[in-house]
Structure 1
Amino acid sequence: MTLFTIDEVRKTFKNGEVEEEILKGINLSLKEGEITALVGASGSGKSTLLTIAAGLQPATDGQVFFEEQNLTTMSTEQVRKLRASKFGFVFQFAHLVPFLTVEEQLLLMLDVAESRLKKYEQQHEVNHLLQLIGMAHRKTAYPSSLSGGEKQRVAIARAIIHQPKVLFADEPTASLDSQRSKEIMLLLRELTKTLKITTLMVTHDEEMLAYADRIIKMSDGLVLPNAMY
């Protein structure tokens, strides 16, 4: 089932008196339970496309639909609430809160998402997810005592604890070594399939493409012909 549709999206930035078109009319649909990877050289527009799809910045032109809701016509507050409840985010660095334990990181996300779960239900969800990602034994640990791979596992758990429909991942393995990168991608794929999350991922690491269901190559603000498979 198609969950997300990007329709003729364009993005222009002003550089002094010169306008630079970063995205030049992108059309894309995302299906439930699939990992779609955006690849391309630096400056190709892939990260800009991800942030527009996620409602983190507006498009100059075009429309973005999520479950038939038009993000383009929503107010800033409506988009914020949608992001908090339906979207999850994983970035190159984990950005964990240094003074919160692993368990507290996840409970905080449930608060941000305005979860309707009762406290004991929230605790159950946290324990279950930490078990899934192999971090149950580290739930009282602080970020300073975690390895890079462990931090990214927690970041992924935090991104999906509120059961979002869409996960946006921008270079999620770029700060990790090869072995840790493979472990994180295996986890990301397993969780995407198990929880039926739609994942849009930006990566420059071709080894990570083996874990994607679909690969889209971009260059100079365009999807390359015959580059969607």
Structure 2
Amino acid sequence: MEFFTVREVKKVFTNGTVEEEILKGINLSLKKSEITALVGSSGSGKSTLLTIAAGLQPASDGQILFEGQELNTLNQEQIRKIRASKFGFVFQFAHLVPFLTVEEQLLLMLDVSETKFSKQEQKREVHQILDLVGMGHRKQAYPSSLSGGEKQRVAIARAIIHKPQVLFADEPTASLDSKRSIEVMSLIRDLTKTLNITTLMVTHDEDMLSFADSIVQMSDGLILQH
């Protein structure tokens, strides 16, 4: 059984009477414990493909298969539960809640993902993950006191605290300088391997491609090479 497969996925946006085909029949398979990078010029369809694969928007046609289950046949509540329990998300900006401490950001995620941990177990998990991403010493800090790189580390910790099977990362280093970008991508690579996470990442930064196991070039809604 294939782990995660995108099969003949199409996406059409309608603007009045005009239809624009953004994705034109995409086929893609993701492998466990590997990083797949989607690259291409602006408008190539890579972010649209990522959001469809993640269940954040529906495809116009085609299938998204996750552990043998067709996500496109599920209702919104079923998809929400999979996103909350099996998927993790990292975006260009950390989007941390400004009035919550670093520790509270992760505890909130555990509540949302409906994990079965007791309150004591939740705190232990949070502290372990924060130590893993090098932020254990900042667990009582608020976002306003964190650097850009620290905020992204917290965002990554929040994305993996519930032990997702798939991590979706949309331009995770775009708001960082080159040094912080390398640190964040090194962290994502290490977590992908050590926690057996499958990562699908969109990036414009060619320097980050050395961290990927597989590079998928997109152009005009099609995959050029894989």
TM-score > 0.5, shorter chain as reference:
yes
CA contact (8 A) 1:90 1:168 kept: yes
Distance 1:31 1:119 in 2: 34
CA contact (8 A) 2:44 2:220 kept: yes
Q: Residue 204 of structure 1 aligns with which residue?
A: 204
Report the residue type matching 1:132 in the other structure: L
CA contact (8 A) 1:2 1:32 kept: no
Question: Where does 1:130-209 land on structure 2 (aligned, <5 Å)?
Answer: 130-209=130-209
> Which of structure 1's runs of 4+ aligned residues deviate more than 3 A?
none
Report the residue type matching 2:74 in the other structure: M
TM-score (norm 1): 0.98
Structure 2 residue matching 1:201: 3-state secondary structure: strand
Whether 2:26 is the aligned partner of 1:26: answer yes
Report the residue type matching 2:77 in the other structure: E
Structure 1 residue matching 2:105: 3-state secondary structure: helix
Question: Where does 1:1-229 land on structure 2 (aligned, <5 Å)?
Answer: 2-224=2-224, 227-228=225-226
Structure 2 residue matching 1:157: 3-state secondary structure: helix
TM-score (norm 2): 0.99
Distance 2:134 2:219 in 1: 38
Distance 2:95 2:3 in 1: 28
Q: Report deviation, 1:93.
A: 0.1
Q: Deviations over 1:52-95 (max 9, x none)?
A: 00000000000001011110100111000110000000000000
Distance 1:198 1:136 in 2: 24
Distance 1:213 1:120 in 2: 37
Q: Deviations over 1:154-189 (max 9, x none)?
A: 000000000000000000000000000000000000
Alignment RMSD: 0.8
Q: Identity, % of aligned pairs?
A: 76
Structure 2 residue matching 1:223: 3-state secondary structure: strand
Q: Report deviation, 1:96.
A: 0.1
Q: Report deviation, 1:122.
A: 1.1
Q: Report deviation, 1:119.
A: 1.4
Structure 2 residue matching 1:215: 3-state secondary structure: strand
Distance 2:67 2:33 in 1: 14
Distance 1:94 1:82 in 2: 22
Distance 2:127 2:81 in 1: 26
Higher mean alpha-carbon deviation, 47-56 vs 116-125, is at: 116-125
Report the residue type matching 1:176 in the other structure: L
Report the residue type matching 2:115 in the other structure: S
Unpaired stretches in structure 2, ≥5 consecutive residues: none
Report the residue type matching 2:166 in the other structure: V
Distance 1:62 1:136 in 2: 43
Count of matched residue pairs: 226
Q: Report deviation, 1:2.
A: 3.9
Structure 1 residue matching 2:182: 3-state secondary structure: helix
Structure 2 residue matching 1:108: 3-state secondary structure: helix
